[in-house]
Structure 1
């Protein structure tokens, strides 16, 4: 069994679309106004970003999106992208539970993780 899509509620659709495109290399497949954007990565995963201007999206404290990369250099390069995009992080990449990991918060409080386990 393979997870093939996710519907993620966001508060600002254009900001979310830009972050997933510019930082994670997702490509826009379709957009319905300011409500839904359908994106894909290069591995067949579909991400549906959904925004409702009448509701504020919130997630539980430990909710996060995790991305695995191949090398420590990939994590460092991603960190550089964040700096260039003026997206703050609490710390530089570091070893966390057997992985070289970077955490950052964006899109109104969603926690993101970028990790390499090939140490």
Structure 2
């Protein structure tokens, strides 16, 4: 069994679409107005982004520690992603670091959701 899709509630659908397209290379499959959109990562994972405000609800507030994680193959990919964040003016200056056996970058977006980009190589790397 493998996890193949997830519905993530966001307060701003346009911002979420831009983030997942431009930073994480997701592809838009379908959009239903301001309520929901469906994206894929071209590797078999489907991400549904929904806006509870479109159904009369409120913007979500996720608990501390909640996060969305991406695993990459090399520490250089983590560093390149950090550079992409800087280019997109979304970077707070925090550099990747060694955390729990991985080389990781953390940042917040979409109203406070924590994102992680990590490489789990066996050797620890020296942060830039």
TM-score, normalised with respect to structure 2: 0.90
Q: Which residue of 2 aligns with 1:117?
A: 120
Secondary structure of 1:2's aligned partner: coil
- 1:49-80 CA distance string (max 9 Å, x none): 00022412111101000100000000000000
Computed over aligned residues only, the root mean square deviation of the Cα atoms, in angstroms, reads 1.0
CA distance in 1, matches of 2:92, 2:111: 14
Equivalent position of 1:21 in the other structure: 21
* Larger-Rg structure: 2
**Which residue of structure 1 aligns with residue 94 of structure 2?**
91
CA–CA distance in structure 2, aligned partners of residues 37 and 9 of structure 1? 11
Unaligned residue ranges in structure 2 (runs of 5+): 124-128
Contact 1:10 1:49 in 2 (8 A): yes
Give TM-score, length-normalised by structure 1: 0.96
1:65 corresponding residue in structure 2:
68
Structure 1 residue ranges without an equivalent (≥5) = none
Aligned residues, how many? 119
- After TM superposition, what 4+ stretches of structure 1 lie above 2 angstroms from structure 2? none
- Partner residue of 1:44? 44
Shift of 1:5: 0.3
